[in-house]
Amino acid sequence: MYAWKRVDNLRMPRNPVVAAILLALLSAPNPSLAATAADTTLGRVVYEDTVVVRASKLGLRLTDLATTATVISPRQIRLGTAQSVQNVLAPVPGVHVLDMNGTENNGSVEARGFAAQGTTSPVLVLVDEIPTNDFETGKVDWGLLTPAQVSRVEFLRGPASFLYGTASMAGLVNVVTLQPGESSTLWGQASGGSVGRATVAGGGSWNSPHNQGTVSGSYDRLDGYRDNSQSKVASGYAFSKIIFDPHWNLRARLLAHQGEQQVPGPLPYPDWQVNPKESITPTDNHNDHTYDGALELEGNPSRTLDLVALAAGTSEDVDATETIIPTSALDRSSRLHYSRNELRLHWTPGAHGMPDVLIGGEYRFGVLQSRYHDPASGAQVGAGNVDRTSGALYGVARVPMGAMLTLVGGGRVDWLRSSLDDPTDSAPRGPDDDQRAVSPTVALNAALPRGGNAWLSYAGAFKAPELEQLYDQRPYDLGFGTFHISSNVLKPQTGDHWDLGARTALGHGLWLDAAGYYIRSRDEIGFDLANFRLDNIDRSKHLGVEAQLSLEPVHGFSGLLSYAWTQARFDGGPHDGKQINTVPENQVFGRVTWEHQWRGSVSAEVGGATRQWIDEDNQYPLPDYAVLNLGANQTLGQTEFFAAVRNVADRRYATVGYVTLDQYGNNLPLYFPASGRSFMAGVRMKLPAGGMR
């Protein structure tokens, strides 16, 4: 887990006993601990310092990033209790994980007070640097992969529009899959537990002089904590890297996913606490078939120039039955095809004082067909054919300002055009909807004497309205007329973000990550209950503090404690000064792990949130909650056994809700009960491809 290496600008500890121990370690006959003279400056290197954060497009280490960032290591994933990728993010300060249907498999992730209650996502999610947010809604399917298929997770908190454009107001998540090792391996995992959970996963990797890659697959079945919340999810992922010569290689990736998910829907008070397993929407379901593929050519045309050319595509079919509260259910089907092409150049001169520069461009095009039918009669009640074209140019430069200081500057220009054609109407295609945005950034990053870094940054960000928000043809019948809540006059949400933070070693295995931020957001897209439609309803101000204290293993004990204070308030309008709905003001997460000498571990986690509401007027609160999880691992030979109990106290709580109107026009508060107590146990094995050695 640990290594020691030369790190510039770090001093030898003043304590002579500690210094003598360090020199003794360096003289040990281990190639990875090699060092030379007594004047070598030394520092403790943790996993996060050795990782190249690929989500930055610059291939930087965590300490070189002038932004608030967290890397969740393979060890944290393995020793934690998370049973889905979204819950792997729970320890990150300021991240709010929403359990939408009581299964912990289908939810949403929000951060820094940007809340969408699962209708879209303010976080852009990548799998091996390829965006996966849904083309129609912007949502994220967190069930695309299981934690067993994931190596690590990179989370860049704050905006990333200057690199990726829309959909990254609150942050950027890059899920890094299992990578090829030095030798070929095979692995397998199987687990089962309460509420009908059964999961199997497996895969392998290979490594040869001219080709390396991995392949993995998983199948997860769950009856669900709530009634009518059964899910069946299968996914397969393949990655291959073909090495043509020392300067050129081709990376190919393919992700296939099939999901069948029952969606139980929200409950009113007090039903959600008295009988949270109940469902008032027994027919709701969501079935999808998704295929994502990408080809990426990487090369070095010269010693100082790197080139990346990317071509990616997505095909998705969705069939669903959705209850439209307070009316009735509708059958929905959609078919989409989407392509993304990118070319970028990275100039790294290497000369002292010279900047490295990244420039690139993107082109995207997608088409969507959606249909709505009355499930009773089969009659079509809504239809739409939508297309969206977008293009962008961006550039970022990193300029050394000395041995310890780097200036970062750049920006991106985006252009989007989308339009709707109603196949049920004889009228011609409507006018195109053009949207443009400029996303600048400037930042300072400083290396700290004891390890880590400090940063000060500004970035502009935007989130374009999703196609569903612009053109959705789903009809709402309130008894006195039929409405569509979509609006084709929506403007992009924009914002200005300031970040100040540091990541530093405190000594004795302790690391501190702390950041403060201030955000002014404009034209936020929300639901205008008075007019029963989506609108650019308000501005908002976001002010927050995020901190995490991590303890690397000392005498077998390790842990982390994270806290976030989030003040996200409407700025002007009828809700001026109110906390944005479903945004908790206080969040805390703690984990303690003891790894004993018999190659096993036990872990305890506590997470909770306080002071959040489900409405803009802050009249309907979500009760404060704290949830305890326990986990254990034990390794015997090449086999590892693991078990976890989540929500040990069987706490009845909800992470999200909203207010709508009942059939009489009165406010109807609804809540999504989170999962109760659940138990899971399993076994995993990893072997050399040629068999056990």
pLDDT at position 562 is: 97
pLDDT at position 34 is: 30
> In the predicted model, what is the mean pLDDT of residues 345-364?
91
- Examine the domain organization and report whether 337 and 420 are in the same domain: yes
Q: Please report, for the domain that includes residue 454, its CATH number.
A: 2.40.170.20
Is the pLDDT score of 294 beyond 80? Answer: yes
341 C-beta neighbours (distance < 10 Å), count: 15
pLDDT band at 91 (very low <50, low <70, confident <90, very high): very high
Q: Shortest CA distance to 107 belongs to which of 195, 225, 192?
A: 225
Least confident of 151-165, 314-328, 486-500, 607-621: 314-328
**Token pair for residue 173?**
């998540």
Query: Does a structural domain hold residue 599?
Result: yes
Is the pLDDT score of 612 beyond 50? Answer: yes
Is the pLDDT score of 682 beyond 50? Answer: yes
- Examine the domain organization and report whether 118 and 37 are in the same domain: no
Q: Shortest CA distance to 139 belongs to which of 123, 163, 115?
A: 123
CA separation for the pair 563, 352 (Å, rounded): 40
Query: Does a structural domain hold residue 693?
Result: no
406 C-beta neighbours (distance < 10 Å), count: 20
pLDDT at position 526 is: 80
Query: Does a structural domain hold residue 165?
Result: yes
- Examine the domain organization and report whether 28 and 111 are in the same domain: no
pLDDT band at 689 (very low <50, low <70, confident <90, very high): low
- Examine the domain organization and report whether 33 and 103 are in the same domain: no
pLDDT at position 7 is: 33
- Examine the domain organization and report whether 9 and 86 are in the same domain: no
- Examine the domain organization and report whether 483 and 621 are in the same domain: yes
- Residues constituting the chain: 693
Query: Does a structural domain hold residue 441?
Result: yes
Least confident of 96-100, 391-395, 430-434: 430-434
pLDDT band at 40 (very low <50, low <70, confident <90, very high): very low
pLDDT band at 584 (very low <50, low <70, confident <90, very high): very high
pLDDT at position 511 is: 93
- What is the four-CA torsion angle of 552, 156, 612, 167, rounded to 10 degrees? -160
- Examine the domain organization and report whether 35 and 100 are in the same domain: no
Half-sphere exposure of residue 533, counting CA atoms within 13 Å on the CB side? 17
pLDDT at position 427 is: 45
- Examine the domain organization and report whether 103 and 30 are in the same domain: no
Residue type at 545 in one-letter notation: V
Give every CB contact of residue 516 below 8 A, 6+ residues apart in sequence. 499, 500, 501, 544, 545, 546
**Token pair for residue 395?**
């550039």
Q: 660 or 647, which is more confident? A: 647
User: Could you identify the residue written with the tokens 């007090």?
Assistant: 270
How many distinct structural domains can be found in the chain?
2
pLDDT band at 22 (very low <50, low <70, confident <90, very high): very low
pLDDT band at 19 (very low <50, low <70, confident <90, very high): very low
* C-beta of residue 473 within 8 angstroms of C-beta of residue 519: no
Query: Does a structural domain hold residue 151?
Result: yes
pLDDT at position 45 is: 66
Is the pLDDT score of 300 beyond 90? Answer: yes
Burial bucket for residue 402 (CB in 10 Å: 0-12, 13-18, 19+): exposed
Is the pLDDT score of 306 beyond 90? Answer: yes
- Examine the domain organization and report whether 472 and 327 are in the same domain: yes
Is the pLDDT score of 572 beyond 60? Answer: yes
pLDDT at position 566 is: 97
Is the pLDDT score of 33 beyond 50? Answer: no
DSSP structure string for 651-687? ---EEEEEEEE-TTS-EEEEEEEPP--EEEEEEEEEE
pLDDT at position 13 is: 39
Is the pLDDT score of 276 beyond 90? Answer: yes
Query: Does a structural domain hold residue 109?
Result: yes
Distances (CA, A) of 371 to 384, 389, 402, 467, 620: 7, 21, 59, 14, 35
CA separation for the pair 400, 352 (Å, rounded): 8
pLDDT band at 25 (very low <50, low <70, confident <90, very high): very low
Query: Does a structural domain hold residue 76?
Result: yes
Q: 154 or 530, which is more confident? A: 154
Q: Is the pTM of this model over 0.85?
A: yes
Is the pLDDT score of 635 beyond 70? Answer: yes
Give every CB contact of residue 314 below 8 A, 6+ residues apart in sequence. 135, 290, 291, 292, 293, 336, 337, 338, 339, 366
- Examine the domain organization and report whether 560 and 580 are in the same domain: yes
Q: 90 or 664, which is more confident? A: 90
Is the pLDDT score of 10 beyond 70? Answer: no
pLDDT at position 382 is: 87
pLDDT at position 693 is: 36
**How wide is the angle at C-alpha 475 spanned by C-alphas 463 and 533, nearest 5°?**
45
Containing structural domain, residue 24: 3-44
CA separation for the pair 69, 333 (Å, rounded): 38
- Examine the domain organization and report whether 123 and 34 are in the same domain: no
Half-sphere exposure of residue 326, counting CA atoms within 13 Å on the CB side? 18
465-479 pLDDT per residue, tens? 999 999 988 887 766
Residue 596 Rama label (left phi>0; alpha psi -120 to 50; beta):
beta
pLDDT band at 425 (very low <50, low <70, confident <90, very high): low
**How wide is the angle at C-alpha 386 spanned by C-alphas 381 and 389, nearest 5°?**
170
Q: 62 or 44, which is more confident? A: 62
Is the pLDDT score of 37 beyond 60? Answer: no
CA separation for the pair 502, 562 (Å, rounded): 14
pLDDT at position 351 is: 77
CA separation for the pair 464, 391 (Å, rounded): 13
pLDDT at position 1 is: 30
**Token pair for residue 67?**
């932004």
CA separation for the pair 265, 389 (Å, rounded): 34
- Examine the domain organization and report whether 208 and 341 are in the same domain: yes
* C-beta of residue 311 within 8 angstroms of C-beta of residue 338: no
pLDDT at position 216 is: 96
pLDDT at position 24 is: 33
Query: Does a structural domain hold residue 390?
Result: yes
157-183 pLDDT per residue, tens? 988 999 999 988 889 999 999 988 877
193-221 pLDDT per residue, tens? 999 999 999 999 999 989 999 999 999 99
> In the predicted model, what is the mean pLDDT of residues 283-312?
94
Share of the chain above pLDDT 70, in %: 90
Mean of the per-residue pLDDT values for the chain? 87
103-115 pLDDT per residue, tens? 887 789 999 999 8
